[in-house]
Structure formats: structure tokens, C-alpha cells
Amino acid sequence: MKPKILTTLQTYSWALFRADLMAGITVAMVALPLSLAIAIASGADPAKGIVTAIVGGFLISLLGGSRVQIGGPTGAFIVVVFSVIAEHGYDGLVIATFLAGMILITAGLLKVGNLISFVPEAVVNGFTIGIAVIIATSQVRDLLGLSMSALPADFLEKLPALWEARGTLSLAALAIGGATMVLIVGLRRAAPRAPGLIIAVAATSAVVAFMALPVNTIQSQFGALPSHLPMPSFPSLSVDRVLELLPSAFVIAFLAGVESLLSAMVADKMSGGQHRPNAEVIAQGFANVGSSLFGGLPATGAIARTATNVRAGGKTPVAGIIHALTILIAMLVAAPLAGYLAMPALAGLLILTAWNMSEPHKWKSYLSAPRADQFLLLLTLVLTVVADLTIAIGVGVSVGLAIRLRRRNVPPADWHTPER
């Protein structure tokens, strides 16, 4: 359970530092717009995403069991965070995140990280696609510039509400959102090493500012972003509040554990390393406790940002620490500029993230999977979309483990690099 940074620093050199420095700055440019967009989609203040990327990202790299893991807010949390805020308020989310951190620390000390291989891949794929569907539909309002007093949280209520508001479509918003998506895809193909996300979002947002287009921005919708970290404070806990939020805390802990360990597996395949699962789980725990003390969102290992770190030449956890410090510097000196980012641009970014998150290149292989796996994936997907993530995970994992025990001989999951 020894953090990887203690191992890597024993043979650290200036050459490694230069590689980590460039990789850390590069991945920070990817993480910055994503963190803002994820916070907004979660129903939180955009600054909360930045706080999470800084505090959570720093602690995950400092204490984690992977050489190249990058932590922060991720799309997988959007659904559960949105529902917790809607039902229990933002203070309820902070308590749930704090409790999730304590659960993860305990799980890591009990060496539960070794059990990740028992979670069926069909369950992970099912709730990942379900979350992607919910994320994409939640961004339609901002992408189209629809005028709505509030967007229902329930998926089945959301669709008719969006349809009723179709008459308020803004062509300017649609053009900005569409242009952002085209730019992101184009830059990813033409210059894969460039920070395409921030370039695309900044470029289309600049068009909105210079042409004075009637399009919502972060500043017009949420006000000015703070240019400093908030002071840490301990969440107000009571027995009743803890019991009320414990189910949500377990869901957050489960998602953080699964996402971070899958990300670490992907990183191992890309870099040839070997992560320490229980150290990683403990680090996720401290990251969530730390994020909650600063009023941030749940944090976990981010697969796409970790892959970006590896591709950019990151070698050790120092790259992740530099990533967090770079975002902190950006917050201190460039917070007013971030307020000009256009909401349709961020919506387009998240819709593409949701598409990549669903891993469409794997859909064909699902059709040739065993019937039991197909049923399990579909069951988890439907429950995630129309019911509740807690129910989806509970039912999916229970049914999946029952199927696994019945089969006995199940080949290990073939994790590979997704594009999320």
C-alpha cells in the first residue's frame, strides 16, 4: 500500500522532471474545461469542478498506487451528484463525498482493491452507457439554447420537457455548440497531441464574445468565478444526516473505486507499469475527504486524462501533481477569462465526452457476447437510465456475480484504452 511516488522518487532525474512537466501542463489544459463542464452538468457551481481537480488531483497523484494516474471530477459522477444535490442539497453532497472517502480508505486498508476483477465487465459497460445517455440528454438544453425554467432530473420527464421547449431554439447557440464539436473531433485527428478541448472551447467562446452573440456564458449564468481556493471546513455531521446519505456515499465510493482501478489498469497497459490497487483505493479515499473539506465534488481516476498524460510523456506521479498545480495557477490568474466560456461550447464538449464514454466501437462485440452478458448489460443500462444508479449497481453486480459463480471459468476482462 506504499504510494508510487515514494518508489519513483528514489531514481528521479531532471530528464524525468522535464517529461513530467510537459505532460502535466498538457493534461491540465484538457482537465480545465472538462472540470468546469462536469460541475455545471452535475448541478453545481462551475468553480467546484476546478476545486476538485486541484485538491483531488493533487492527493490522488501524491498518495496513489499508479505512476501516471490523473484524478479529478469525471463524467461517471454526473448522474449521482445531480441526484444527491437535487434531493439533499449541496451540503448533503459534501457529507456524502466525505463519507465515501472514509469508506474508500477503510476498503483500501482491508485490501478490497483486489476484488475489482470480480465486478463483471457487462455491468461496468451497462452503467457507463446509461450514464452517457443521461449526460447527453442533460446537455441538450444548453446545446440548443432552449429557454427552460428548470430541467427535470428524471429521464422520462426530461424528454417531453425538452420537446415542449423546442420553440425557443437558439440558432446561435446551436452553431457554437456544433462548431465546438467539429473542432474537437478535427483537432483530435489532425493534432492528437494538442490540447484540442481547451482550444476548441476557447475559440468558439471567443467568437461569442467578439461578435456579442446572444449565447449564455459561465459568467452570465453563474457569475464571476473565484480566483482562489476556499478555506477548508469540516462538514456538519449528525447521526440522522449520515444515515440519510450513507446509500449515496456507498454509490460514490463504488464508482470512485471502479473508475480509478479501471483507469489504473488502462494506464498499466499503456505504460507497461504495475499499479498497487489498495494504495490507489486509499488515495481515492483521501482525495474525496480532501475535496469535501474544500467543498468540492467527488473525485476519482480519470481514464481519458490518464491516457492523455501517458501519451504526452508522463512518467511518474509528479506529472499529476504538476497538472493540479497548473490548474491552481490558472485559477489564480485567469479566472475572469474562464467566465467568458460559452455554455453551448461546454455542452458540445460533454456530449462528445458522453459519446466516447459509451465506447461505440465496442457495440458490435456486445452482439456476439453470451446471452447472459447481453442481458446483464441491458438490465444495468435500463435501470441506470430510468430508475436509479444505486438500484442499477446493486442489481447489476448481484446478478452479475451470480452468473459468474454459475459459470466458474470466466476469462479476465480485456480492458483497453477508451477515448473518454
Question: Could you report the per-residue pLDDT of 183-229, keeping only the tens digit for each?
Answer: 999 998 998 877 888 899 999 999 999 999 999 999 998 888 888 99
How far apart CA 268 and CA 132 sit, in angstroms, is 25
In the structure grid, which three cell numbers stand for residue 160, read together? 417531453
Cα separation, 331 vs 337, in Å, equals 10
| pLDDT the model gives residue 417 | 45
Low-confidence spans in the chain with pLDDT less than 70: 116-117, 407-420
For residue 80, how far is the Cα from the chain centroid?
A: 12
Calpha distance 299→344 (Å, rounded): 25
369 is written with which cell numbers? 457476447
**Phi and psi angles of residue 217, each rounded to the nearest 5 degrees, phi first:** -120, 175
Instruction: Return the bridge partners of 72, or none.
Output: 300
The pLDDT score that the predictor gives to residue 411 is 54
In this predicted structure, what is the pLDDT of residue 398? Answer: 86
User: Cβ(222)–Cβ(46) under 8 Å?
Assistant: yes
Residue 298 near residue 81, CB atoms below 8 Å: yes
What is the model's pLDDT at position 407? 67
CB 306 within 8 A of CB 68: yes
Encode pLDDT of 8-59 as tens digits. Answer: 999 999 999 999 999 999 899 889 988 998 999 899 999 999 999 999 999 9
pLDDT computed for residue 409 by the predictor: 57
* pLDDT for position 351: 92
Question: How many CB atoms neighbour CB 86 within 10 A?
Answer: 14
CB-based contact 321:58 (threshold 8 Å): yes
Per-domain residue ranges of the chain: 15-227+237-407
Calpha distance 105→286 (Å, rounded): 7
Instruction: Enter the C-alpha cell of residue 298.
Output: 467527488
| Helix 121-138 and helix 389-407, axial crossing angle in degrees, nearest 10 | 160
